[in-house]
Amino acid sequence: MKAIIQRVTTASVSVGEVPISSIGRGLCVLLGISMEDTQKDVDYMVRKILNLRLFDDENGRAWSKSVMDKEYEVLCVSQFTLQCILKGNKPDFHAAMPAELSQPFYNNILEHLRSTYKPEMIKDGQFGAYMQVHIQNDGPVTIELVSPSAPMDPKQLAKQEKQQQRKEKPRSKGPLESGRERAAPRPRAQDPNASSGADGDVSSERET
């Protein structure tokens, strides 16, 4: 799971001309759920969102207080485009959890945020709708969070594989063994979606 967290003075969501929700000071969280996410990722994200020290304390000391410490609000909006893999210049979203699965998953995250903090301090958007999200980024302060079990960035993986191959060249090794090594750093390499996405991305990326 990926989250883009923006510290805000205000933030709100509207659908068409209809205001859906709004917060004052706090955090606007855009949340990208991947195919691979589990309850472990939810626990991590909820803990980090609520405890990250992104606010000043009463003496103006920066990076001292969390959104809970300050009793500020959280606006959380589902954002599947964060699970983007670039195929050249075209975004591909096959790594994102499909809507029918991600909606209950996302609701579970909201519930978890509400029960850990206070229900009335957690606002959300309208799942799947075409929204306008008004964000007054305060600072600006923007943090990217990646939950620990997120799949690795395919571009970095490819680069790392190439480096590994280069390092391996002078050594005399059987093809089986070196193949096993290159695969080793790839987490969950057995997932067909993850691998094909990565391969497709890398090859087309080089053409641009």
Task: Tell me how far CA of residue 24 lies from CA of 8, 145, 187, in angstroms.
Answer: 8, 22, 40
Q: How many residues bind a second copy (CB under 8 A)?
A: 55
Burial of residue 63, with CB atoms counted within 10 A of its CB: 0-12 exposed, 13-18 middle, 19 or more buried: exposed
**Which residues from 77-106 bind a second copy, rule CB under 8 A?**
77, 79, 81-82, 84, 86, 89-91
Smallest distance from the beta carbon of 72 to a second copy, in angstroms? 15
Cα 150 to Cα 202: distance, rounded to the nearest angstrom: 18
**Which residues from 105-124 bind a second copy, rule CB under 8 A?**
none
Contact 77, 15 (CB under 8 A): no
Place of tokens 């053409």: 207
Smallest distance from the beta carbon of 39 to a second copy, in angstroms? 17
Residue 198, token pair as written in the block: 């990565």
Binding segment (CB under 8 A) for a second copy, from list 18-26, 33-41, 113-121, 183-191: 183-191
Contacting positions for a second copy (CB under 8 A)? 2, 4, 6, 9, 30, 47-48, 51-54, 63, 66, 77, 79, 81-82, 84, 86, 89-91, 130-144, 146, 148, 150, 152-153, 155-156, 159-160, 163-164, 167, 180-181, 184-185, 187, 208
